[in-house]
Copies of this chain bind each other. A is one copy, B any other.
Amino acid sequence: MILSKFIKPVHAHCDLPCGVYDPAQARIEAESVLMIQQKMAGFQGDERTRAIIIKEQRAELVKHHLMVLWADYFKPDHLEKWPQLHDMFWKTIKQASECKSHSEPETGQKLLEMIDQIADIFWQTKEG
């Protein structure tokens, strides 16, 4: 079954009641952003207006999910091991803002790649 591949339950060791974190949340919204941008080349009028409205919302969700991951999941010892995390998150959130004001799919593609780099570290923290 495909399912077991992509939904790995994540069990964060945190002190809050809600201790589930997953970079997939930011990624799914970022995929929406990119998909909208890819379609926008062919969009005009009302359809383009709607695309901008929805892209704005999705990019905002990307920013929110990244903030939660950065501030709630990552702990001081992670930062010691990956001191670049602060800057990675800051630039990735800024990239989500870029995607709000641009319709070129390159900006969305870059956002996805930046999220994947954060996810890469995230999953390393889950290993041994």
Please measure, in the bound complex, the distance between the C-alpha atom of A120 and the C-alpha atom of B5, giving whole angstroms. 12
Copies in the complex: 6
User: Inside 8 A of A32's CB, which chain B residues have their CB?
Assistant: 18-20
Please measure, in the bound complex, the distance between the C-alpha atom of A56 and the C-alpha atom of B39, giving whole angstroms. 19
A31: nearest chain-B partner, CB-CB: B20
| Residue from the list B2, B50, B123 in contact with A3, Cβ < 8 A | B123
Known: A17-B51, A46-B103. 4 other contacts (CB 8 A): A3-B116, A7-B116, A16-B97, A72-B97
Contact with B along A35-69 (1 / 0, CB 8 A): 11001100100111111111110100001100100
| Residue from the list B5, B55, B93 in contact with A8, Cβ < 8 A | B5
User: Inside 8 A of A6's CB, which chain B residues have their CB?
Assistant: 5-8, 24
Interface residues of A (CB under 8 A from B): 1-11, 15-20, 22-25, 27-28, 31-32, 35-36, 39-40, 43, 46-56, 58, 63-64, 67, 70-72, 79, 86-87, 90, 93-94, 97, 100-101, 103, 116, 119-120, 123, 126-127
Chain B nearest Cβ from A103, distance in angstroms = 6
Q: Let me know if B36 and A17 touch, CB within 8 A.
A: yes
User: Inside 8 A of A48's CB, which chain B residues have their CB?
Assistant: 46, 49
